[in-house]
């Protein structure tokens, strides 16, 4: 119970602090940040909306609302996928790249301060091992 409660409370508080820092200093949410990172990791700066939803662990409808808001802020654009004409792509804009470059040091500093620097190498390896196991178990579960 101690491990479970510690995980729930610690992870939620960590995400809230990281989100608050990004919002107050850069005007973007942690979810926006994750989308911008995923788009910049793509060779051409674009990702199909369905893949983006899967990659950031969001529902497609929630992602659509979020991307619409980000589009209105000039951080991303949407276009039709040329490969099949049905899919929709999210593309990072120059402003989105600029915003990510501004926000990244804040995010990295927060992750280091509130997690990485608190743990020694063995503890970090244990955290990585634990969540590799959790991810593998979740990937292996039958669809619901």
- CA 11 and chain centroid, separation: 14
How sure is the predictor about 51, in pLDDT bands with cuts at 50, 70 and 90? confident
pLDDT tens column, 56-93: 777 788 888 999 999 999 999 998 877 766 788 999 99
Q: How many domains does the chain have?
A: 1
Q: For residue 51, give its domain range.
A: 2-140
pLDDT computed for residue 132 by the predictor: 95
CATH code where residue 97 lies: 1.10.10.10
pLDDT computed for residue 61 by the predictor: 83
pLDDT computed for residue 102 by the predictor: 98
49 close to 88: Cβ distance less than 8 angstroms? yes
Q: Dihedral (C-alpha) 48, 52, 53, 54: value to the nearest 10 degrees?
A: 100
pLDDT computed for residue 37 by the predictor: 97
pLDDT computed for residue 14 by the predictor: 97
Q: What is the mean pLDDT of residues 34-41?
A: 95
pLDDT computed for residue 53 by the predictor: 85
């Amino acid at each position: 119970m101690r491990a479970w409660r510690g995980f729930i409370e610690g992870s939620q508080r960590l995400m809230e602090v990281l989100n608050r820092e990004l919002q107050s200093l850069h005007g973007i949410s942690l979810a926006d940040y994750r989308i911008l990172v995923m788009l910049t990791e793509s060779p051409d700066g674009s990702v199909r909306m369905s893949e983006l939803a899967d990659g950031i662990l969001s529902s497609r409808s929630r992602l659509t609302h979020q991307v619409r808001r980000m589009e209105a802020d000039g951080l991303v654009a949407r276009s039709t996928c040329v490969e099949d004409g049905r899919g929709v792509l999210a593309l990072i804009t120059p402003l989105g790249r600029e915003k990510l470059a501004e926000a990244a040091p804040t995010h990295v500093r927060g992750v280091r301060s509130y997690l990485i620097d608190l743990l020694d190498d063995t503890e970090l390896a244990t955290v990585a091992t634990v969540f590799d196991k959790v991810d593998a178990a979740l990937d292996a579960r039958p669809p619901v």
